[in-house]
């Protein structure tokens, strides 16, 4: 057994763990990194990167089939599903060197390709190594949830992890789960020539603003996706290429492939957390505002910390704990400014509070400013005029923004900056946006906030009238 002593031990080489390791070692700490699986974690290998690459293939196919409105003859796209997956793997391969073992060893990180578990409050065993660390960061991420559905153990099914390597185009893809992953993959596959049925026990896209979600769901239904809501799955049966899903109300849906997209489960089973005095729940490791666990030497970041499960949140968590790990300074994680996006077409983005959340929190103090894509000249020119932005404002400061429409995820960047720095609507209104851009919707939303104050205010009209009389 080789013994290693290190300043910081990072368990997990996904986006959260890699960010901590890179930052800490470049600022002078000795860092050891454990990873028993793939470097880069879920996001690079099974999640964000491959899904967006597949969505890109699907967009190209859809554009070929719907170009006549631009004066370009529409054609029936010739789709090679296996070649689309080659594109996906090529994208992964291009990004992989940034997350590779070679790169991190080049930075000075000791990388050990083993899974680890605690043997004391400060020690972790990983294969032939026993590691003692001053501080330990758990960044083991999460895995696709496999729900306890009757018959599932005998039926072949896909998750986001196995879908990446599927090369046979599904004839009819059944998706259990109508959240962001389910809806993104539903639209991608309908555009790649599959039949798709989504079965959701609640409301599809239930965590998003209902008005915005409805626009996305209408778009998917318009493309041919069957979306079945309020349908609890009770049983599955069948075999390869012939799967049946039964719901509690007696309906049966048949398809060739089954995809589970019902959430994520934190990766904590291997860790033997009790040996370290680290408390956890089904949601993940219990942490305080500084992301410190019940063992003050152990931190948990990213999906395993039990909060919002997004790659950018994992990166943000890394920046929070670095301050404490390296400099001993207090640092707290916030969620009030966190954005997320669903990369359907149209896209759906949320930053901070939804309208319903803001009304519950702020009551009568809340004002909602809104601007529709249908009044944006660039969106009209590109036939992308479906959607809107609405901004939740309290005493002149935004507390949330909902965007549904073309490139909503890109527009979310501005509002993430606004909420992170507590900017005012007047500062957004002062921005000069280039014309014509779809991004102008954000400035116009700020303008909509001030419109009633300026144009519908009788005092403003009286002041202007008096000034006009006295001006030479």
Mean pLDDT by 10 residues, the chain (472 residues): 96 97 96 96 94 98 96 97 97 96 97 97 97 97 96 95 96 98 98 98 96 98 98 94 95 97 96 97 96 97 94 95 92 93 98 97 96 97 97 97 98 97 96 95 93 70 73 76
Tell the burial category of 308 from Cβ atoms under 10 Å away from its Cβ (0-12, 13-18, 19+). middle
**256-276: burial string, b at 16+ Cβ within 10 Å, e else:** bbbbbbbebbbbbeebebeeb
**Which pTM value belongs to this model?**
0.94
Q: What is the pLDDT of residue 455?
A: 63
Query: What is the C-alpha to C-alpha distance for residues 289 and 330, in angstroms, rounded to an integer?
Result: 10
Query: What is the C-alpha to C-alpha distance for residues 122 and 131, in angstroms, rounded to an integer?
Result: 8
Taking CB atoms within 8 Å and a gap of at least 24, the contacts of 289-296 are 289/332, 289/333, 290/320, 290/321, 290/324, 290/330, 290/331, 290/332, 290/333, 291/317, 291/320, 291/321, 291/333, 292/324, 293/138, 295/121
What is the separation of C-alpha 281 from the centre of its chain, rounded to a whole number of angstroms?
Answer: 22
What are the structure tokens assigned to 274, written together?
């009790």
Residue 73's region, left for phi above 0, alpha for psi from -120 to 50, else beta, is beta
Q: What is the pLDDT of residue 354?
A: 97
Q: What is the pLDDT of residue 395?
A: 96
The answer as to CATH 3.40.50.720 being correct for domain 2-39+100-144+265-327 is no
Q: What is the pLDDT of residue 451?
A: 76
Tell the burial category of 463 from Cβ atoms under 10 Å away from its Cβ (0-12, 13-18, 19+). exposed
What are the structure tokens assigned to 275, written together?
């040996």
Fold of 152-262: FAD/NAD(P)-binding domain (3.50.50)
* Residues sharing a CB contact under 8 Å with residue 310, sequence separation 6 or more, in sequence order: 338, 340
Tell the burial category of 30 from Cβ atoms under 10 Å away from its Cβ (0-12, 13-18, 19+). middle
What are the angstrom distances between the C-alpha of 241 and each of 124, 174, 217, 225, 257?
44, 11, 27, 19, 6
Q: Which helix (H) or strand (E) holds 320?
A: helix 311-327
Query: What is the C-alpha to C-alpha distance for residues 12 and 296, in angstroms, rounded to an integer?
Result: 19
Neighbours of 289 (CB within 10 A): 11
Fold of 339-455: Enolase-like; domain 1 (3.30.390)
In which residue are the tokens 């046979």 written?
Answer: 168
Contact predicate 227/213, CB 8 Å: no
Q: What is the separation, in whole angstroms, between the first and last Cα of the chain?
A: 92
- 367 phi and psi angles, rounded to 5 deg: -125, 145
Instruction: Report domain extents, the chain.
Output: 2-39+100-144+265-327, 152-262, 339-455
**436-454: burial string, b at 16+ Cβ within 10 Å, e else:** ebbbbbbbbbbbbbeeeee
Q: What is the pLDDT of residue 468?
A: 76
Contact predicate 164/88, CB 8 Å: yes
Domains 2-39+100-144+265-327 and 152-262 share a fold: yes
Q: What is the pLDDT of residue 458?
A: 74
């Amino acid at each position: 057994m080789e013994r290693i002593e290190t300043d910081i031990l990072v368990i997990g080489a996904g986006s959260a763990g890699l960010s901590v390791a890179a930052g800490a070692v470049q600022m002078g700490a000795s860092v050891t990194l454990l990873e028993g699986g793939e470097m880069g974690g879920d996001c690079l290998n099974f999640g964000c990167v491959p899904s967006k690459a597949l969505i890109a293939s699907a967009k190209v196919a859809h554009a070929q089939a719907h170009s006549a409105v631009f004066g370009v003859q529409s054609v029936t796209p010739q789709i090679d599903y296996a070649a689309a997956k080659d594109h996906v793997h090529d994208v992964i391969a291009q990004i992989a060197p940034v997350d590779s073992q070679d790169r991190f060893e080049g930075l000075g990180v000791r990388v050990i390709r083993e899974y680890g578990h605690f043997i004391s409050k400060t020690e972790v065993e990983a294969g032939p190594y026993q590691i003692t660390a001053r501080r330990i960061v758990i960044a083991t991420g999460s895995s696709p949830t496999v729900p306890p559905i009757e018959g599932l153990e005998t039926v072949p099914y896909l998750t986001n992890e196995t879908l990446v390597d599927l090369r046979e185009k599904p004839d009819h893809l059944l998706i259990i789960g109508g959240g962001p992953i389910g809806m993104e993959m539903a639209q991608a596959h309908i555009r790649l020539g599959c039949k798709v049925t989504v079965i959701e026990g609640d409301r599809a896209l239930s965590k998003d603003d209902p008005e915005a979600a409805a626009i996305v769901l209408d778009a998917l239904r318009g493309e041919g996706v069957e979306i079945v809501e309020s349908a609890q799955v009770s049983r599955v049966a069948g075999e390869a290429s012939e799967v049946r899903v039964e719901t509690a109300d007696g309906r049966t849906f048949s398809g060739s492939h089954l995809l589970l997209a019902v959430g994520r489960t934190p990766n904590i089973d291997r860790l033997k957390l009790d040996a370290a005095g680290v408390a956890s729940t089904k949601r993940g490791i219990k942490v305080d505002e500084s992301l410190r666990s019940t063992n003050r030497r152990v931190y948990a970041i990213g999906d395993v910390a039990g909060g919002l499960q997004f790659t950018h949140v994992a990166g943000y968590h890394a920046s929070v704990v670095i301050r404490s790990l390296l400099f001993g300074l207090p640092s707290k994680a916030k969620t009030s400014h966190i954005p997320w996006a669903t990369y359907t077409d149209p896209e759906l983005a949320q930053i901070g509070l939804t309208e319903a959340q803001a009304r519950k929190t702020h009551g009568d103090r809340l004002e909602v400013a809104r601007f529709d894509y249908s009044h944006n000249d660039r969106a009209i020119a590109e036939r992308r005029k479906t959607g809107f932005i609405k901004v939740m404002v309290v005493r002149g400061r935004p507390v949330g923004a909902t965007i549904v429409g073309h490139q909503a995820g890109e527009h979310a960047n501005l509002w993430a900056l606004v909420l992170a720095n507590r900017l005012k609507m007047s500062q957004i209104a002062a921005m000069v946006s280039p014309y014509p851009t779809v991004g102008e919707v954000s400035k116009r939303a700020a303008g909509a906030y001030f419109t009633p104050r300026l144009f519908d205010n009788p005092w403003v009209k009286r002041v202007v009238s008096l000034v006009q009389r006295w001006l030479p």
